[in-house]
Amino acid sequence: MRILRHRPRPVAGALVLVLAAALAGCTGTPQSDAPVPAPASATPPVPDAPLTATQWTVTALSGTPVPAAAAGRARFTLAPGGTAGGSLGCNRFSAPVAVEGATVTFGPLTSTRMACEGPAGEVERTLTGLFGAGPLTWRVQGRTLTLTAPDGRALTAEGGSAAE
C-alpha cells in the first residue's frame, strides 16, 4: 500500500494571497444607487467681512437698488475707535458711532454742505435719515452688510477693501 503525502504547492499559496486581497477590498461601504457628491469647490468660501475697518459701498436702500447715476458714490467706514466717515453720495461726513452687540448707533453727523440734487441727493437724504434713526441692527453675511432701523428702513452695502 502506498501512502500519499500532501505537499504544499506554490500555486496554492498564491491563490490564498489573491483571495485575501480580494476580501480586503470588500470591507468598504456597500454600493448604493445614491448619487456621488460633487467634489468640493476649489474656491474657499468668502469669510464674513469685519463690521469695522471695512469700506462699505451702499448698494440698496430699503430693498431698492441705488439709482445708476448714484451707484458707488455712497460709502462709509466704521473705525474701531468709535468714529464713522465717508460719503453720503454727494457730501463727505463724519460721526461718532457706537457698536454694542448687534446694534450700531450713529451720533450727530458732520458733513460738507454742497447742494446735492438728483439721485445722489436722494441717496444722501435717505442715508442721513437712516443714520439718525436710532440704534440700527447690523448683520454681515459674506461681504454684505445690512443695517436696519427700528421702523424697518434699511440699507445694504457691499464690503470692499479694508480701510487704511
Helix and strand numbers (H, E) in the chain are 2, 10
CA distances from 82 to 50, 54, 95, 145, 154 (A): 14, 14, 9, 18, 21
pLDDT digits (tens, 9 = 90+) for 136-164: 999 999 999 999 999 999 999 999 966 54
CA nearest neighbour of 50 among 141, 122, 164? 141
pLDDT digits (tens, 9 = 90+) for 88-101: 999 999 999 999 99
Domains of the chain, earliest start first: 54-162 (2.40.128.270)
CA distance 122 to 77: 20
pLDDT of residue 47: 72
pLDDT in tens, the chain (164 residues): 455 454 545 544 443 444 444 444 544 444 545 555 545 545 666 678 999 999 999 999 999 999 999 999 999 999 999 999 999 999 999 999 999 999 999 999 999 999 999 999 999 999 999 999 999 999 999 999 999 999 999 999 999 966 54
Task: Give the predicted TM-score (pTM) of the model.
Answer: 0.70
